[in-house]
Amino acid sequence: MKLNFRTRTGKIFRHDNRIRKKLSGLLCGVDEAGRGPVAGPVVAAAVIFGDDTFIEGIFDSKQVMPAKREVLFEEIINSAHTYGIGIVDNKKIDEINILNATKMAMSIAVSRLKEIPEMIMADGNFFSYDTAKVENMIKGDARSYSIAAASILAKVTRDRIMCEYQKAYPNFSFSSHKGYCTLNHIDEILEHGYTDIHRRSYKLKALQGELF
């Protein structure tokens, strides 16, 4: 198959290959999903690819259609060298705050890799890891192939978790809003109150003075 490297996937794929050439060890991408929502866990993923694993379509998970993400999820898992997922629940988020919980989820994801990478590229500007060099990249999920792949693993995993919660909390439409603060979700909270999976530390302006 002839590969078209002029697509957005091709561009970020080349970006990673340029970095990989300078390394002797493995290159890992890390990203998270679920920092914004008021319910559910924060999920992070770490992915290590070999240098010739090109999957057309990989890009920032926010810019890929949900159905396509599901397909890419399977392809990434099948062709990655190794991957890891980290999940931190809403109770822990309330206890240690969302930034620390996100760092924790990312570290757990890295610890589940089968091998320790030489370099980790992480989306954002806050990650650190003891046993590997870390390169933080703002908007990394649209600049690095490995981070973009991690963003898809994290997003799909989190969406699946939220769809499972739909069964446990039929009063809430977690399978559609995924815990994000949509108008519909706010109405549901006003009507039914918080559930066990809501992040109590998130103070919603729309709810001030109405719940307490």
Partner 1 sequence: MNLGAYGENSALNFLEAKGYEHVARNFRFQRAEIDLIVKDESKKLVVFVEVKTRKNNKFGGPEESVTQKKTEQICKSAEGFILQHPEFADYAKRFDIIAIIMDGKSNTINHFENAF
Binding mask 127-166 for partner 1 (x = CB under 8 A): ---xx-----------------------------------
Pick from 2, 18, 114, 167 the residue near partner 1 by CB under 8 A: 114
How many chain residues interact with partner 1 (CB under 8 A)?
Answer: 20
Is residue 77 at the binding interface for partner 1, with CB under 8 A as the rule?
yes
Stretch that binds partner 1, among 30-38, 80-88, 171-179, 190-198 (CB under 8 A): 80-88
Q: Which CB atom, from 113 or from 152, has the smaller least distance to partner 1?
A: 113
Is residue 99 at the binding interface for partner 1, with CB under 8 A as the rule?
no
Burial grade of 1 (CB within 10 A; 0-12, 13-18, 19 or more): exposed
Structure tokens at 14: 């080349």
Pick from 29, 86, 117, 179 the residue near partner 1 by CB under 8 A: 86
Structure tokens at 174: 């977690």
Minimum distance between the CB of residue 84 and partner 1, rounded to whole angstroms? Answer: 5
* Cα 20 from Cα 38, distance rounded (Å): 37
Strand order in the sheet with 133-137: 82-88, 42-48, 27-33, 119-123, 133-137
Is residue 111 at the binding interface for partner 1, with CB under 8 A as the rule?
yes
Residues near partner 1 (CB under 8 A) are 77, 80-86, 96, 104, 107-108, 110-114, 116, 130-131
